[in-house]
Structure 1
Amino acid sequence: MKSKFLALLGSAVLSAGVAQAGGFQANLQGQKQLGMGHAGTGLALDQSSIFFNPGALAHLRQNGIQLGVSALNAKIAYREPSPGISESATDNPISTPFQVYASFGKEDSPLRFGIGVYTPFGSSVNWGTRWQGRYGLNELTLKTIFIQPTISYRITDKLGLGAGFIYSTGSVNLQRSIPLADANYNEAGVELDGAASGFGFNLGVFFQPTEKLSLGLTYRSKVEMEVKEGDVTFRLPTSPLVAGQFQATQFDASLPMPANITLGIGFKPTEALTFAVDVQRVQWSAYKSLRFDYNAGIRGETFSESPRNYEDVFIYRVGAQYKLSEIFTIRAGAYYDNSPVQEGYLTPETPDSDSRGVSGGLTLALSDKVDLDASFLYINKKERTDDASKSGGVAGTFKSVAYIPGVGINYKF
């Protein structure tokens, strides 16, 4: 019982993401790109190039400020393994991942500076305290914010390079039930809460050999999010024998936000029509295990470690936009995202499986300086049954979907 409790505790604290991407990555960084399946590495569309390809930023001819937000509504359903027939579903709050970008430079200068503030990882999942897997997880909230100052240089009219430094900050809150062996008490609870931070970088190359064709290549580094002296609070019955087993008050932990390599192609057969294709490699293999170190004993142990052994995977994205007039542009796109979670490693905070996303969007030019963007993304993850034998998670069948509308505004000057 002791080792199983520690494995369950170690499985849930920092891993979130629910239904928006493989693992716990949230690909919601630009409203125009969202309308095209989140493809945009090979295009110089707007200020969100700070994220998608810093090398393309210097090919924008105007300074600008861009604000955007999405409303992530994700649902997960669970069914007990045979012969059980009980089912549960999450009651997740709506999350609001956002993006803020700004860039500036002299009109004729090949040099452009920018800054981005965005949320590439994080979400909320709430299973409640009565579901069958409550010893694995009740509720989890993960928040991350990346701050990225960026510099981009246009070497020629065809070639641009860019780089950005990333500082990440965030927080995590976990609540779960604890099984008790005491004859007088069935279960207790625990809450873990902490702040996390880390560092990384973003590099990009943009090449436009012709007016119709453009190419982009980016590398976003791994960011190791570290929690130092997070708080551990137990909800225990008034029993000295039980309380003596749970003495920890703080924990340390870390979680890798994986590196990404993306190759993008943009093709513009006519002045009005643009196609985009991205192939993204997510280096999830950095996530080998999840370890927690405690400042005092939990049932006699001062640390816990549970295996993850995620695999590197590809994401394939396609999209298009068509400019109907000087004031109205429409978009559509799709993607296929392979899950990095191997068989036997499924957990209730990231019941991940291969996912399919379809999207649409539009831009309305309100004036020469102000554009309004809108997008909608629907994600459907394949139903997945797993025995969780290697992760210490919750065995059963999981199914996830997400509905994500978004809106953004661009000011050019």
Structure 2
Amino acid sequence: MKSKILALLGGTLLSASAMAGGYQVNLASQRQIGMGHTGTGIQTGTSSIFFNPGAMSFLQENGVTVGASGLVSYISYRSTNFTSATAEADNPLKTPFQVYAAFSINDKLKAGLGVYTPYGSTVRWGEEWNGRFGLSELSLSAFYFQPTLSYQISDKLGIGAGLVVATGSVNLQRQLPLQGANGTEPGIELDGSAETALGYNVGIYFQPSEKFSVGIDYRSKVDLKVEGGDITYQGLPASATALFQGKSFSAELPMPATLSLGIGFHPNERWTIAADVSHVGWSAYERLRFDYDAPVAGNMSSINQRNYDDAFIYRLGTEYAATDKLKLRAGAYYDNTPVQDGYLTPETPDADSRGLSGGIGYAFSDKFSVDASFLYINKKERTDTGEFSGGVAGTFKSIAYIPGIGLNYNF
């Protein structure tokens, strides 16, 4: 029983952390979401801070952008062991956001600052579903701050680099497979904040002609560390206190590096077509170790394997200037899952993802404009045993609806 509890605990914690990456839904710009989240090989305005810092040097005006999305997700579960066991996660609305500001130091040199939330979600399965010993609730958030410089080497070539300063937090709750007071099941909650971590984002943008452009961007791995996270118990029976003495935990999670190549094509002054391919270095996530200040499930630490594979994301998007003020956008992408068979978990049951998006942009004046977007994500239905990850055997299906709006001001 002690080893079973430890495996469940370790697996849950590791999966919860990994959800930020394995369920990677980038929402870095409302204009670019409408175009399938392409942007590496084209000029994207202030959001070049994220997509390609090299393109920021081509900005003609100073600008500020503020945007947010409303992430509504649905996850369903059906047991493969007990056909009558089904569940649906009660996930609250999440609001990832982005803020960008870019300024000209001179004709060649631009400076900018980006603040965005590349990871974050909340999943609530409740305390009665079949996998409650794996997870009942998870809340995870990450915040990135990126000061950036960009230099235009020539009228065709720009380079840029940004320092990424990252932090975040996690709260995880689940039931324990023990008999508590009055026949209830005890629970455990882990809550912690990540220490400040550093990374970088570098890019090169090249536009050899008015009709064609290309870009490459590299966002480095960021290692987030939790030190002194709090462990609390609810309804733990006196007979189990010797096994569960831990009050704090520490762990480390790699946020993988991403290398993106993008191209842009402008057949005429009204059309923009963009395509991106991204390689995400998920293989950096092999395993994760949790250390406790005192025994948890009778052990001072737990190690759980993940063995993620590197994965590719393919994106395609377009924008059409219907009038001088109105722009129409559409896009699509395909995101390969890094999760191998046997490693699926209920925190965010990952599978190959298909995304479809659309959007509009409207300029009220030369200085003020609004972007609106909508993204639909459909993950393939996936059945897995979770035998290597401490997951819950069953079939999972996930979809998400993500509307968003952004405000742009140039000066």
TM range (shorter): over 0.9
Of 3-12 and 311-320, the range deviating more from structure 2 = 3-12
Per-residue displacement from partner, 1:182-209 (whole Å, max 9, x unpaired)? 8985621000000013210001000001
Shift of 1:118: 0.2
Contact 1:182 1:242 in 2 (8 A): no
Shift of 1:4: 2.3
Q: Match of 2:46, SS? A: coil
Q: Match of 1:179, SS? A: coil
1:306 aligns with 2:304: yes
State the alpha-carbon separation in 1 of the partners of residues 204 and 121 from structure 2.
30
State the alpha-carbon separation in 2 of the partners of residues 98 and 246 from structure 1.
38
Q: Which amino acid aligns with 1:350?
A: T
Q: Which amino acid aligns with 1:76?
A: I
Q: Match of 1:187, SS? A: coil
1:46 aligns with 2:21: no
Q: Match of 2:5, SS? A: helix
State the alpha-carbon separation in 2 of the partners of residues 78 and 375 from structure 1.
29
Q: Match of 2:8, SS? A: helix
Per-residue displacement from partner, 1:291-323 (whole Å, max 9, x unpaired)? 210000013200111111110000000000000
The match for 1:8 is 8
Identity across aligned pairs (percent)? 57
Q: Match of 2:346, SS? A: coil
Q: 1:24 to 1:373 in 2, by over 3 A?
A: same
Q: Which amino acid aligns with 1:349?
A: E
Contact 1:56 1:205 in 2 (8 A): yes
Q: Which amino acid aligns with 1:386?
A: D
Superposition map of 1:270-349 within 5 A: 270-349=268-347
The match for 1:374 is 372
CA RMSD after TM alignment: 1.7
- Of 156, 166, 169, which residue of structure 2 is paired with 1:171? 169
State the alpha-carbon separation in 1 of the partners of residues 297 and 68 from structure 2.
44
The match for 1:265 is 263
Say which structure is richer in helix.
2
State the alpha-carbon separation in 1 of the partners of residues 14 and 304 from structure 2.
12
State the alpha-carbon separation in 1 of the partners of residues 7 and 16 from structure 2.
17
Shift of 1:135: 0.3
Q: Match of 1:216, SS? A: strand
Contact 1:78 1:396 in 2 (8 A): yes
1:357 aligns with 2:355: yes
Shift of 1:24: 3.3
Superposition map of 1:116-265 within 5 A: 116-180=114-178, 185=183, 187-197=185-195, 198-237=197-236, 239-265=237-263
- Of 380, 395, 410, which residue of structure 2 is paired with 1:397? 395
Q: Match of 1:47, SS? A: helix
State the alpha-carbon separation in 2 of the partners of residues 186 and 164 from structure 1.
51
Contact 1:36 1:359 in 2 (8 A): yes
State the alpha-carbon separation in 2 of the partners of residues 308 and 359 from structure 1.
31
Q: Give me the TM-score of the superposition, normalised by structure 2.
A: 0.97
State the alpha-carbon separation in 2 of the partners of residues 345 and 18 from structure 1.
11
Q: Which amino acid aligns with 1:180?
A: L
The match for 1:31 is 30
State the alpha-carbon separation in 2 of the partners of residues 156 and 187 from structure 1.
67
- Of 399, 406, 409, which residue of structure 2 is paired with 1:408? 406
Contact 1:16 1:24 in 2 (8 A): no
Per-residue displacement from partner, 1:13-39 (whole Å, max 9, x unpaired)? 3645999x9713231001111001100
Shift of 1:350: 2.1
Contact 1:17 1:121 in 2 (8 A): no
Q: 1:143 to 1:154 in 2, by over 3 A?
A: same
Shift of 1:82: 4.3
Task: Give the count of matched residue pairs.
Answer: 410
The match for 2:98 is 99
Q: Which amino acid aligns with 1:271?
A: E
Q: Match of 2:45, SS? A: coil
State the alpha-carbon separation in 2 of the partners of residues 314 and 125 from structure 1.
25
Contact 1:102 1:115 in 2 (8 A): yes
Q: 1:350 to 1:89 in 2, by over 3 A?
A: same
Q: Which amino acid aligns with 1:26?
A: V
Q: 1:189 to 1:82 in 2, by over 3 A?
A: closer
Q: Which amino acid aligns with 2:314?
A: Y
Contact 2:99 2:115 in 1 (8 A): yes
Q: Match of 1:153, SS? A: strand
Shift of 1:5: 1.8
State the alpha-carbon separation in 2 of the partners of residues 389 and 348 from structure 1.
13
Contact 2:16 2:172 in 1 (8 A): no
State the alpha-carbon separation in 1 of the partners of residues 279 and 85 from structure 2.
38
